[in-house]
Amino acid sequence: MAPRLGKVTVLSALDDAHLADVTTSEASLRRFLHGLPGVDEVGAEARAAGLSTRSIKTTAKQFAIDLAISMIDLTTLEGQDTPGKVRALCAKALRPDPTDRDVPRVAAVCVYPDLVGVAAEALAGSGVKVASVATGFPSGRTSLAVKEADTREAVAAGADEVDMVIDRGAFLAGHYRQVFDEIATVKQAAGAAHLKVILETGELATYDNVRRASWLAMLAGADFVKTSTGKVSPAATLPVTLVMLEAVRDFRDASGRQVGVKPAGGIRTSKDAIKYLVVVNETAGEDWLDPDWFRIGASSLLNDLLMQRQKLATGRYAGPDYFTLD
């Protein structure tokens, strides 16, 4: 059973009347965010390490591999991306292994805004979502007007999901109201598209900040909280993801609204992906073990999952050359 760190404090702070109060001013947001219980650093790391040693046997492993595939936001975020590369990635998203129709599709393809149209056309009607980074990804150092325009353009071109970055400088300077307003503005600009808020946890310095940034994003309307851009090291880690999972769990208890979690950056092996699924199950619980509520942002994880899947089915590895490039 996961320790319910500070649940009582959070619940009592967030009854309905209070929820509105919390977000009205810089001072009330600060009071609330700094009133959240501190993260036990040693405890969070020990718990993540303990969960990552769980061994998953054959049938459960097969299930976990397919679940992980179905949760991938298959990502390309390179300066040299081309429409051809995005089309190839979309083909892979739709049919990860052309020789095996039982392999599930991934959840989404994640691209820069200028390539959303290409992805939307390639994925039309398939159920695989188009996700786009926006708001001056990866640094977020543009004006709010530009961030809004970036978001609107991505959605107009066909993005189902928007992955925005927060202004880490403003957050670290304690300008919580500014960060809140930015997220709320981008949420409005995104319209019906789901909003994933990237905290860039590698720049937030402490687990307490990760907890505060998660709550700030959720209070401002985030549909998902996401660890990283993949451009900063460290990117996703198990303890950081565990802290974010505790936050979404406690936020649902307090507000009744469920928010998803997306670790992203540096997740490349089946072993790692399965560790994340164990942490989800043991921290937030089964309700989050679904692509609607948990995603893995990755550019080069899918092939390893396919190789391990084939190894389980046939007893031997096909080798990386067997599959198309991630």
Ligand X SMILES: O=C[C@H](O)COP(=O)(O)O
231 is catalytic: no
Q: Are strands 161-165 and 224-226 parallel, antiparallel or unpaired?
A: unpaired
CA distance 73 to 82: 18
In the shown chain, the binding pattern of residues 67 to 106 toward ligand X, with x for contact by CB under 6 A and - for none, equals: --------x-x-----------------------------
- Does residue 240 bind ligand X (CB under 6 A)? no
- Does residue 291 bind ligand X (CB under 6 A)? no
- Does residue 132 bind ligand X (CB under 6 A)? no
In the shown chain, the binding pattern of residues 245 to 264 toward ligand X, with x for contact by CB under 6 A and - for none, equals: -------------------x
CB of 119 to ligand X, least distance (A): 14
Q: Which is nearer to ligand X, 113 or 230 (CB)?
A: 230
In the shown chain, the binding pattern of residues 187 to 226 toward ligand X, with x for contact by CB under 6 A and - for none, equals: ----------------------------------------
Catalytic residue (choose from 160, 226, 250, 326): 226
The β-bridge partners of 165 are: 198
CB of 77 to ligand X, least distance (A): 5
Residues 68 and 62: beta-carbon distance below 8 Å: no
100 is catalytic: no
The DSSP output letter for 56 is -
Question: How many residues line the site for ligand X (CB under 6 A)?
Answer: 12
Q: If you search the block for the tokens 């892979």, which residue do you land on?
A: 92
Q: If you search the block for the tokens 């084939």, which residue do you land on?
A: 310
How many CB atoms lie under 10 A from the CB of residue 24?
A: 10
**285: phi > 0 → left, psi -120 to 50 → alpha, else beta; which?**
left
- Does residue 237 bind ligand X (CB under 6 A)? no
311 is catalytic: no
State the Cα angle at 43 between 38 and 48, rounded to 5°: 115
- Does residue 265 bind ligand X (CB under 6 A)? yes
CA torsion 11-15-16-22 (nearest 10°) is: -80
Catalytic residue (choose from 163, 167, 304, 326): 163
Cα-atom radius of gyration of the chain, to the nearest Å? Answer: 19
According to CB under 6 A, which one of 266, 291, 305, 306 is a site residue for ligand X? Answer: 266
Residues 263 and 41: beta-carbon distance below 8 Å: no
Query: Rule CB under 6 A: which residues touch ligand X?
Result: 75, 77, 110, 229-230, 264-266, 297-300
Supply the residues annotated as catalytic: 163, 226, 262
